[in-house]
Amino acid sequence: MPRMGPFLSRKGRGDKFRTARNMDTQYDVVAIGAGHNGLVAAAYMAVAGKRVLVLERNDWFGGGVVTKALTVPGFLHDQHSMAHIFIQGNPLLRNDDLGLKSRFGLRYAFPECPMMSVFESGQTLGLYRDRERTVAEIAKFSAKDAEAYRRLAEYAQSLMPMLTGALYSPPPPVGASNAMMDQSREGRELWRMMQMSIHDLLVEWFENPKVRMHFARIAGENLCSPDEKATGFGVFVFVGFLEAFGFGVAQGGSGELTRALIDCIRAHGGEVIGGVDVAKVTVSGGRATGVATADGREFKARDGVIGAIHPHDLGQMIDGLDPWVKKTAERTQITEVGCITVHAAMNAPLKFKAGDQVKAVMIELLPDDYDTLRKSFDDLRYGGFARCPLVGLGSLSMHDPARAPAGKATMHAWDYVTYDHPEGRNWDEAKHDYARKMLGYMSRFIDNVGEADVIAYHCDSPVDMERTSSSFRRGDLHGVSAATYQSNAWRPTPELGRNTVPGVDRLYLVGPFQYPGGGVFGAGRAAAMTMAEDLKMDFDKIRAKA
């Protein structure tokens, strides 16, 4: 059974959890929030020799990267993120910067089939790390599309040096990036594809509706319709990372990444404390000097503050914030679509009607008609229920047997709904009705998801997501929407897009609302790089100390 220390209650943890009342109050760096991005930034500073304190409002750690026994004993569930994809290209893991793998025991499995679509007709389409296997899968639907995929994958791989060089450090200015692309035919074509919807791009590349739908579902995982403009480039990013790195399944649960980061911080003399609600960033002479808690205590930070502060909260957390910075932060747009999830302890491994070949990290349950998928997203856009549930699922006990007792299984299913219930109901009451609707829809694809097959389940609505973390405002797991004007160096706003706050020196922002966006990127590394530069430290030497 994997270690569960960082993800469960403080009860029974002994001196590992010092209470805030008997703590020191002077540190080099204080971090607000113990989500994975803040922990990454804090861990780099701890490795650099700084005395670090991380304060978390909840009495558990990890934010969206957490593993819990949500149902019954013996079953481990990843409450939010379940596959670590884009962080695999981050030097944090690729080069094991902090020793999370070599010293602190973080282990991943990389299944050969990261993603598979299962259609109502019983057909399946798998995306494999092995390009030729994927080509063969697509050829079942269209030989022409199979060759088109080969070209698409080759182009995606040609982009990987650019992507891995840009995603884990502060983003370049938007104007400079656009000007650079405008200097060549290839750059202008890249810019064009970046502005297209994923649907428009797929119409250019593929002819078969099911092949188009298979790739269009990728846009949905970013909480938006395939018809949303400026989503097309995501296909190349997704395919490039899938082939280069695969989907990492953390052995013991997604929260093992959180556990390893906390172990790293503590091994380098830092502290990570739960149950402390930070109310203010203290500022003196235009510089962040520490934090004040909701119960009236203060913790000083000699070198800087790392803050997982949602843009909508920034003005309340910082007195005297520049009015324009405050205004633009508060008007950032939240995605109208949120997640609803069902975590189930199952009596047996899932039995798909399509056959035993359905074994992937992410499994998408799709209708046979592509327009049904597109119109389902339109339903959500206008505040209703999707006409066809947009269910994706994972059963990670397939790839990590320690997550369930022998012969049993876990299931993590998700769908999309609006934060405001379409019928005006309270989601706390209505979510179980919707969970049963999801399971009913899943029974078209899976033989054993009936009442007798589910030992117990746990359901989180968008309202529950918001309660879990202030970053998940209105159930938006990405913090703010991925609209073009909230992307790259303008994420979440042009003023805040490089992890700093104008007028407040030594405050460094982290979270899913910062570049490059929601998901497990390990993006706190960019904030750590900026902080190191301000402190006149060589970031490469910080990494070497791990």
List, for residues 515-527, the tens digit of each pLDDT value: 999 889 999 999 9
In sequence order, what E strands does 56-136 have?
Answer: 67-68, 77-78, 108-109, 115-119, 124-127
Token pair 């609209």 in the structure block, residue: 483
H-only helix segments in 182-340: 185-195, 198-205, 209-220, 234-245, 255-267, 314-317, 323-330
Would you say 495 and 516 are in contact if contact means Cβ atoms under 8 Å apart? no
Burial 237-251 (b: 16+ CB within 10 A, else e): bbbbbbbebbbbbbb
Q: What is the mean pLDDT of residues 89-118?
A: 97
Q: What is the CA radius of gyration of the chain?
A: 23
Q: What is the pLDDT of residue 22?
A: 60
How confident is residue 277, by pLDDT bands cut at 50, 70 and 90? very high
Q: Can you say whether the dihedral through the CA atoms of 472, 478, 482, 488 is positive or negative?
A: positive
Q: How many residues in the chain?
A: 546
Q: If DSSP codes are grouped into helix, strand and coil, which group holds residue 290?
A: strand
Amino acid at 435: A
Token couple for 477: 């797991």
Would you say 415 and 390 are in contact if contact means Cβ atoms under 8 Å apart? yes
Q: Packing angle between helix 198-205 and helix 234-245, nearest 10 degrees?
A: 70
Q: What is the mean pLDDT of residues 332-342?
A: 94
How confident is residue 543, by pLDDT bands cut at 50, 70 and 90? confident
Whether 16 shows a pLDDT value over 70: the answer reads no
| Partner residues linked to 271 by β-bridges | 53
Per-residue pLDDT of 371-412, as tens digits, reads 999 999 999 999 999 999 999 999 999 999 999 999 999 999
Q: How far, in Å, CA of 244 to CA of 154, rounded?
A: 11
- Report the alpha-carbon angle 13-290-311, nearest 5: 90
Token pair 């203290």 in the structure block, residue: 282
Q: What is the pLDDT of residue 221?
A: 83
Token couple for 394: 């994972």
| Partner residues linked to 125 by β-bridges | 117
As a whole number, the mean pLDDT across the chain is 93
Token couple for 198: 């994923």
169-175 long-range Cβ contacts below 8 angstroms, 24+ apart: 169/525, 169/526, 169/529, 170/498, 170/499, 170/515, 170/526, 170/529, 170/530, 171/488, 171/489, 171/491, 171/497, 171/498, 171/515, 171/516, 171/526, 172/489, 173/489, 174/488, 174/489, 174/490, 174/494
Q: If DSSP codes are grouped into helix, strand and coil, which group holds residue 301?
A: strand
Q: How far, in Å, CA of 202 to CA of 452, rounded?
A: 41
Q: What is the pLDDT of residue 2?
A: 33
DSSP 393: E
Whether 17 shows a pLDDT value over 80: the answer reads no
How many CA atoms lie less than 13 Å away from 482 in the CB half-sphere? 27
% of the chain with per-residue pLDDT over 90: 91
Would you say 156 and 236 are in contact if contact means Cβ atoms under 8 Å apart? yes
Most distant CA pair in the chain, distance: 68
**In which element (H, E) is residue 288 found?**
strand 287-293
| Partner residues linked to 55 by β-bridges | 32, 273
Q: If DSSP codes are grouped into helix, strand and coil, which group holds residue 298?
A: strand
Q: How far, in Å, CA of 531 to CA of 306, rounded?
A: 9
Q: If DSSP codes are grouped into helix, strand and coil, which group holds residue 421?
A: coil
**In which element (H, E) is residue 410 found?**
strand 409-418
Report the 10 Å Cβ neighbour count for 195.
Answer: 13
Q: What is the pLDDT of residue 224?
A: 87
End-to-end C-alpha distance for the chain, whole angstroms:
27
| Partner residues linked to 349 by β-bridges | none
Token couple for 231: 């989503």
Q: What is the pLDDT of residue 544?
A: 65
**In which element (H, E) is residue 30 found?**
strand 26-32
How many CA atoms lie less than 13 Å away from 299 in the CB half-sphere? 30
How confident is residue 111, by pLDDT bands cut at 50, 70 and 90? very high
Q: If DSSP codes are grouped into helix, strand and coil, which group holds residue 269?
A: coil
Token pair 């966006």 in the structure block, residue: 517
Token couple for 121: 């007709």
Token pair 């074994």 in the structure block, residue: 359
Q: What is the mean pLDDT of residues 255-276?
A: 98
**In which element (H, E) is residue 279 found?**
strand 278-284
Q: How far, in Å, CA of 447 to CA of 256, rounded?
A: 32
Q: What is the pLDDT of residue 21?
A: 56
Peptide bond into 492 cis (omega under 30): yes
Q: What is the mean pLDDT of residues 237-259?
A: 97
How confident is residue 214, by pLDDT bands cut at 50, 70 and 90? very high
Would you say 459 and 409 are in contact if contact means Cβ atoms under 8 Å apart? no
